[in-house]
Amino acid sequence: MEVYIDGKFYKKEDAKISVFDHGLLYGDGLFEGIRVYDNCIFKLDAHLERIEYSAKAIALELPWTREEIARAHVEACRRNGVANGYIRSVITRGVGDLGLNPHTCAKPSLIVIADKIALYPAEVYEKGIRLITVPTRRMSVAALPPMVKSLNYLNNILAKIEALNCGFDECLLLNDQGNVAECSGDNIFIVHKGKLITPMPSSSLLMGITRAATMECARELGIPVVETTLTRYDVWNADEAFLTGSAAEVIPVVELDGRKIGAGKCGPITAKLLELFRKKVRTDGVMVA
Ligand code: PXG
């Protein structure tokens, strides 16, 4: 495997960054997780737009054009023969002095890793997954906006640890108001009386690319979509629920906090959305070859 770092490709064992990089010292940086399906980098443009917005939010001036960043992604897939897989891109503040001041960092670094992906087992998409609400709250938009896909993932990792401690692989996080935010690495949707409902961005969540793609699918299928405030009560009483994420795609949720959701298996609207989503992923993006 060869990893892209700042314009060059390095063998995996030689792909290294400085211990003085503020990405490591302070989690000062950004990342993306992007899927590749049959040589199509799914929604690459949307991921690059999210990088630009995240960079703006953390006052990190990107020294590369969107085209340059896109080219690094395409080249990383080509070099590594990744036709189906996963791209992890990382932008760090760069090498600087000890101390928080980002202005001591001379220039940001861009790292692009294209690799295989460990897929969820097929049965998850039929049987669904069980969730538990964890005590850790999703951080407030007034602290570090969760819309920023930053290298500070401890909020999510603490929630994940709580879920794992209870024997669950994924969990629901509430925001500081006690309303539904999202999961540790996925967005959440419910279906109620034929409508697709999901927490609005100000509920403290990452604006997932899969979330947006799923809402697009719903509109194409004529399913009304609502972004609003949701409580756990709404999820417990949903007809269907599912998670979205680049790794998860669309995964049915069949239980939350010991309450069975809907029929306790993948619901009909979830199934339709997953079917259309899987049709789109091979065409809606930037081709590698
Ligand atoms: N919320 C959070 C907190 C996430 O980290 C999503 C929602 C879904 O966003 P996308 O844009 O993927 O639809 C994420 C994404 C990993 C991994 O390696 C994590 C994500 C995506 C891909 C890989 O754990 N999280």
The pLDDT value given to residue 289: 87
Q: In the block, which residue shows the tokens 């604006």?
A: 207
Q: Is 279 a catalytic residue?
A: no
Q: Smallest Cα–Cα separation from 173: which of 251, 88, 235, 125?
A: 235
Please choose from 189, 246, 277 the residue to mutate so as to test ligand 1's pocket, defined by most ligand atoms within 8 A of CB.
Answer: 246
Residue 118 CA to ligand 1 centre (angstroms): 14
Whether the per-residue pLDDT at 119 is higher than 90: the answer is: no
Backbone angle region of 38, left / alpha / beta, with phi > 0 → left and psi within -120 to 50 → alpha: left
Ligand 1 centroid–CA 246 distance in Å is 6
The reported pLDDT for the residue numbered 222 is 98
Distances (CA, A) of 69 to 63, 103, 218, 235: 10, 23, 30, 39
Ligand 1 nearest atom to the CA of residue 213, by list position: 13
- pLDDT tens digits for range 60-90: 999 999 999 999 999 999 999 999 999 999 9
Residues with CB under 6 A from ligand 1: 33, 156, 182, 185-187, 206, 208-211, 244-247
Task: Give alpha helix (H) positions in 38-111.
Answer: 44-57, 66-79
What mean pLDDT comes out for the span 236-250? 97
252: β partners: 242
**Ligand 1 atom 9, closest CA:** 208
Residue identifier of the C-alpha nearest atom 4 of ligand 1: 185
Paired tokens of 118: 């460990």
Does 8 score more than 90 pLDDT?
yes
The residue whose C-alpha atom lies closest to atom 22 belonging to ligand 1 is 33
Output the pLDDT for position 254.
98
**Secondary structure letter of residue 102 according to DSSP:** G
The phi, psi pair for 270, rounded to 5°, reads -60, -45
Identify the active-site residue in 11, 16, 149, 280.
149
- What is the number of the ligand 1 atom nearest to the C-alpha of 156? 3
DSSP E strands, 47-192: 85-92, 109-115, 129-133, 170-174, 180-183, 187-192
Q: Is the pLDDT of residue 225 over 90?
A: yes
Q: Which atom of ligand 1 is nearest to the CA of 205?
A: 1
Neighbours of 4 (CB within 10 A): 23
Indicate the residue type of 52.
E
Q: Name which of 8, 29, 149 is nearest 76 in CA terms.
A: 8
Q: Model confidence over 132-177: pLDDT tens digits?
A: 999 999 999 999 999 999 999 999 999 999 999 999 999 999 999 9
Q: Using CA atoms, how far apart are residues 157 and 160, in angstroms rounded to an integer? A: 5
First to last CA, the chain: 18
Q: Read off the pTM.
A: 0.97
